């Protein structure tokens, strides 16, 4: 196992009717900005519950944070926080609202141009406002991690940052708040959390016994509940399990002390930035080809994945590996998520542009061994057409 530091200060408040408790977790004299997305949180009553729980407190509101939150919109929130001297943020929504709130938290008192936070991937973040979250979409793990991904619409760039200063101080996870999710978003959440687990697990053996078993438990649970959690909209137990799985898939625990890949995510972000395809859907397109192209480097873990997650024990090594990759594709397809670029009418002429974007963003040596060069990324995209 590799050396590691494991740190996670986020308090989780999980279960039905837990929004009522948020006031206990926000300092009494805090001047709060509640941030949210489009209309979903208003329509399903989540915002109403938050307003009720914070009655009597100083609360202002900022709505309109988009999916793939933009720098341009978030800078408007930064201005409000500065002007109104607000000092606590509360994100109500999915990964986009939470990521956006992390950016606002770090940008408000940032000493130079806030876009630097993204171009330096967070290394220059020395402070951030405290914030909490009310999660409405299980998918990204943003509710218990220190990552954020922001899009600049002007330049069609999608960049991430990480900083220990942007862990939420608390996150409320009420599974009933997911009942109103469109089926497409639930499917996206299943696929995203599946790929988060894969990116930290399917690398090379690192003698990390419990991280492997834990990752396999998350993957098997997702396979077990995947299609059901989508169709059984108001099944509390399924939604509760799914919500906790998605959080655990990217809260740092399974990634501690093990090599991590993330090449699929980095290529996926470029696809979203150029073609506006949902984050999770880009991953379902890239991952199967990524695994096939990098089969030799990942051979030992692919065999372990085949045996322990998919119970594949017969046939040659290559047959078991191919069966595991096709099962992965089949799993995404069972969620009605396509696994080819052609499903989005993206053809071979798109590849040069995507590779150029990876190059501009320094994504030239990706993966657990930094051996995913632009040439390898090109082959992955070609195989995903």
Report the interface residues with ligand NZQ, using CB under 6 A.
37-41, 44, 67-68, 93-97, 99, 136-137, 139-142, 145, 147-149, 177-178, 180-181, 185, 188, 192, 250, 265, 279
Hey, how many other C-beta atoms are within 10 angstroms of the C-beta on 251? Answer: 21
Q: How far is the CB of 27 from ligand NZQ (least distance, A)?
A: 25
Nearer to Zn ion, 192 or 329 (CB): 192
From the list 17-25, 161-169, 189-197, 361-369, the region that binds Zn ion by CB under 5 A is 189-197
**Binding-site partner at residue 178 among Zn ion, ligand NZQ, none, CB < 5 to 8 Å by type:** ligand NZQ
Considering the complex, what minimum distance in angstroms separates the CB of residue 196 from Zn ion?
6
Closest to ligand NZQ by CB, 137 or 312: 137
Report d(CA 188, CA 191) in Å as an integer. 5
Q: Between 196 and 379, whose beta carbon lies closer to Zn ion?
A: 196
Provide the token pair at 180.
Answer: 């109103």
**For Zn ion, the closer CB: 81 or 363:** 363
Please, is 239 exposed, middle or buried when counting C-beta atoms within 10 Å of its C-beta (0-12, 13-18, 19+)?
buried
Residue closer to ligand NZQ (CB basis): 84 or 276 = 276
CA geometry: angle 305, 310, 316, nearest 5 deg: 75
**Site size for Zn ion, by CB under 5 A?**
1
Q: Report, in Å, the least distance between residue 28 CB and ligand NZQ.
A: 29
8 A C-beta contact, residue 60 and residue 84: yes
| Of residues 192 and 322, the one with the C-beta less far from Zn ion | 192
Residue 190 contacts which entry, Zn ion, ligand NZQ, none (Cβ below 5-8 A, type-dependent): none
- Token representation of residue 65: 């944070």
CA distances from 246 to 59, 207, 234 (A): 29, 24, 18
The least CB distance from residue 356 to Zn ion, in Å, is 23
- Binding partner of residue 40 among ligand NZQ, Zn ion, none, CB cut-off 5 to 8 Å per kind: ligand NZQ
| CA angle, 110 then 114 then 118, to 5° | 115
Nearer to Zn ion, 192 or 212 (CB): 192
- Judged by beta carbon distances under 5 to 8 A according to partner kind, the member of Zn ion, ligand NZQ, none in contact with residue 148 is ligand NZQ
139 binds, among ligand NZQ, Zn ion, none (CB under 5 to 8 A by kind): ligand NZQ
Q: CB of 265: closest distance to Zn ion in angstroms?
A: 6
Binding partner of residue 37 among ligand NZQ, Zn ion, none, CB under 5 to 8 Å per kind? ligand NZQ
Smallest distance, ligand NZQ to C-beta of residue 54, A: 19
CB 55 → ligand NZQ: shortest distance, Å? 22
Region near Zn ion per CB under 5 A, out of 10-18, 90-98, 187-195, 199-207: 187-195
**Contact call for residues 381 and 263 (beta carbons, < 8 A):** no
User: Residue 110 or 265: which CB sits closer to Zn ion?
Assistant: 265
Q: Closest CB to Zn ion among 95 and 114?
A: 95
**Least distance (Å) from ligand NZQ to the CB of residue 41?**
5
Distance CA 46, CA 100 (A): 18
**Out of 192, 261, 278, 368, the residue judged to bind Zn ion by CB under 5 A:** 192
**Dist CA 77 CA 91 (whole Å):** 12
Residue placing its CB nearer to ligand NZQ in the complex, 22 or 149: 149
Closest CA to 171 of 211, 206, 124, 136: 136
User: Minimum CB separation from ligand NZQ for residue 239, in Å?
Assistant: 10
Binding site for Zn ion (CB under 5 A): 192
């Amino acid at each position: 196992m590799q050396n590691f530091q494991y740190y996670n200060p986020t308090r989780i408040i999980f279960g039905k009717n837990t929004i009522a408790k948020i006031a206990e977790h926000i300092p009494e004299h805090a001047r709060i900005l509640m941030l949210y997305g489009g209309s979903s949180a208003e329509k399903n009553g989540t915002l109403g519950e938050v307003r009720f729980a914070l009655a009597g407190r100083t609360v202002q509101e900022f709505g309109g944070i988009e999916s793939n939150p933009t720098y341009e919109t978030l800078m408007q929130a930064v201005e409000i926080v500065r002007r109104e001297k607000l000092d606590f943020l509360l994100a109500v929504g999915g990964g986009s609202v939470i990521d956006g709130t992390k950016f606002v938290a770090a940008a408000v008192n940032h000493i130079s141009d806030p876009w630097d936070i993204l171009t330096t991937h967070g290394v220059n973040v020395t402070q951030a406002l405290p914030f909490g979250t009310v999660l409405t979409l299980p998918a990204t793990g943003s509710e218990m991690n220190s990552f954020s991904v922001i899009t600049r619409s002007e330049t069609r760039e999608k960049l991430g940052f990480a900083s220990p200063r942007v862990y939420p101080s608390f996150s409320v996870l009420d599974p009933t708040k997911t009942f109103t999710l469109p089926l497409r978003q639930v499917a996206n959440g299943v696929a995203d959390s599946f790929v988060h687990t894969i990116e930290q697990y399917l690398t090379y053996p690192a003698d990390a016994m419990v991280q492997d078993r834990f990752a396999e438990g998350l993957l098997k649970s997702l396979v077990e509940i995947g299609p059901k959690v989508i169709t059984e909209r108001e099944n509390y137990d399924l939604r509760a399990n799914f919500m906790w799985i998605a959080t655990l898939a990217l809260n740092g625990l399974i990634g501690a002390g093990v090599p991590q890949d993330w090449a699929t995510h980095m290529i996926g972000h470029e696809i979203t930035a150029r073609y506006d395809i949902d984050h999770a859907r880009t991953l379902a397109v890239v991952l199967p080809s990524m695994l096939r192209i990098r089969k030799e480097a990942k051979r030992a873990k692919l065999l372990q994945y085949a045996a322990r997650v998919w119970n594949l024990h017969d046939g040659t090594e290559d047959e078991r590996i191919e069966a595991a990759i096709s099962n992965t594709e089949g799993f995404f397809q069972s969620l009605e998520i396509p696994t080819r670029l052609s499903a989005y009418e993206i053809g071979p002429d798109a590849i040069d542009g995507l590779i150029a974007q990876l190059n501009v963003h320094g994504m030239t040596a990706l993966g657990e061994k930094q051996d995913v060069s632009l040439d390898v990324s090109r082959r992955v995209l070609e195989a995903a057409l």
